[in-house]
């Protein structure tokens, strides 16, 4: 049976969260997705079941994350009660959930908070990579595209106009500079509005958030670099393939129809950003977890 169906996942209704003590280590101001504790297909719950279960096991966490080619040398425990640009984070452990960065959005978003009306990264980790203290912004996908359709028109309508203005104000000053993150042409071809399908829109925001918050001071830790880590489930071909049906509002990307999402995104990125983008299947990495009880639960379920 397909593990990404509600029929399969319903058998875990009695234990949707492997270790609920994880929630005591998350800042009380975080707005977790409503489905996290109550829906078998929740990607937030899947992320917490894996990374949350490893949040106090740095060696296990390094092994898991290095499965995606990150080359982590060491991890830094998050400095509890750190003030990050005016926002206090009271999280504990080596993984922070629903990360948004400083109090004032560096990507021009108004209001909101962690997990609510603001670009909130599923998981955030601080690591040393190639001798640099590096922030990892992790997006976690499970059944998106299969259990519910993806939104295709993020840059349409009045909200779309606001989003175009918001991110254009960041990108325009970078034009013709090495820091510009995407392979845009002077005229025609691919542009910002082509990132209107849900998963590309998320990658856009994560890239800009990482770029605009590096360097950043987190407690006594000075972050010098970043990585964007996009993890999906190996059985979810809906989100992993850039299907033609997703590109009706993305004319600049139609030539990529049918190709793998990660290959397309890597090609879209500038060489500098491409080095900082990592991806893979989180369900495949479960096999490297040494905790037998945890590994057995995750393997059976996912």
Total tally of structural domains belonging to the chain: 1
Q: Is 254 inside a domain boundary?
A: no
Average pLDDT, integer, range 92-116? 96
Q: Give burial (CB, 10 Å; 0-12/13-18/19+) of 282.
A: buried
Per the model's pLDDT, the better-predicted residue between 187 and 31 turns out to be 31
CB-count exposure of residue 206 (10 Å: 0-12, 13-18, 19+): buried
* 213 domain-assigned: yes
Residue 187 banded pLDDT, cuts 50, 70, 90: confident
161 inside domain: no
Per-residue pLDDT, 37: 86
pTM (2 d.p.): 0.97
174-186: average pLDDT: 90
10 Å CB burial of residue 14 (0-12, 13-18, 19+) is: exposed
Half-sphere exposure of 239 (CA within 13 A, CB side): 30
Mean pLDDT of 85-113: 97
pLDDT digits (tens, 9 = 90+) for 134-156: 999 999 999 999 988 899 999 99
pLDDT at site 185: 85
**Rounded distance, CA 85 to CA 87, Å?**
6
pLDDT, residue 45, reads: 96
97: in domain:
yes
Q: How far is CA 295 from CA 1, 43, 52, in A?
A: 20, 18, 13
Strands 277-281 and 225-232 turn out to be parallel
In a domain, 156, yes or no: no
- pLDDT tens readout for residues 50-96: 999 999 999 999 999 999 999 999 999 999 999 999 999 999 999 99
- Cβ proximity of 121 and 100 under 8 Å: yes
Rounded Cα–Cα distance for residues 289 and 65 (Å): 11
Q: Is residue 170 part of a domain?
A: no
Range of the structural domain that residue 18 is part of: 6-151+207-246+260-301
- Domain assignment of residue 255, yes or no: no
Measured at the CA of 55, the angle between CA 24 and CA 298, to 5 degrees, comes to 100
* Rounded average pLDDT over 270-291: 97
Tell me how far CA of residue 55 lies from CA of 76, 124, 246, 278, in angstroms.
11, 11, 35, 20
pLDDT digits (tens, 9 = 90+) for 206-234: 999 999 999 999 999 999 999 999 999 99
Angle at 156 between CA 154 and CA 159, to 5 degrees: 75
- Which pLDDT score is estimated for 148? 87
């Amino acid at each position: 049976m397909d593990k990404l169906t509600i029929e399969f996942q319903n058998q875990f209704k009695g234990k949707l969260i492997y270790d609920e003590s994880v929630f005591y280590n998350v800042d009380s101001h975080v707005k977790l997705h409503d489905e996290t504790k109550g829906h078998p297909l929740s990607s937030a719950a899947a992320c917490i079941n894996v990374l949350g279960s490893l949040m106090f096991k740095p060696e296990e966490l390094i092994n898991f994350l290095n499965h995606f080619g990150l080359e982590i040398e060491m991890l830094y425990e998050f400095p509890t009660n750190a003030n990050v640009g005016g926002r206090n984070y009271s999280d504990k452990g080596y993984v922070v959930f629903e990360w948004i960065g400083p109090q004032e959005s560096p990507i021009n978003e108004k209001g909101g908070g962690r997990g609510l009306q603001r670009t909130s990264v599923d998981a955030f980790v601080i690591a040393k990579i190639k001798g640099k203290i590096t922030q990892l912004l992790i997006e976690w996908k499970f059944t998106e595209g299969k259990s519910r359709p993806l939104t295709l028109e993020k840059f349409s309508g009045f909200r779309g106009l606001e989003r175009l203005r918001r991110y254009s104000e960041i990108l325009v000053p970078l034009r013709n500079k090495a820091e510009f993150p995407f392979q845009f042409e002077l005229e025609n071809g691919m542009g910002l509005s082509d990132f209107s399908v849900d998963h590309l829109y998320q990658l856009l925001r994560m890239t800009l958030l990482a770029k605009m918050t590096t360097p950043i001071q987190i407690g006594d830790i000075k972050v010098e670099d970043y990585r964007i880590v996009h993890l999906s489930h190996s059985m979810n071909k809906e989100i992993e393939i850039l299907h033609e049906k997703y590109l009706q509002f993305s004319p600049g990307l139609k030539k990529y129809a049918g190709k793998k999402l990660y290959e397309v995104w890597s090609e879209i990125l500038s060489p500098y950003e491409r080095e900082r983008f990592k991806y893979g299947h989180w369900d495949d990495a479960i096999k490297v977890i040494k905790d037998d009880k945890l590994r057995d639960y995750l393997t059976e379920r996912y």
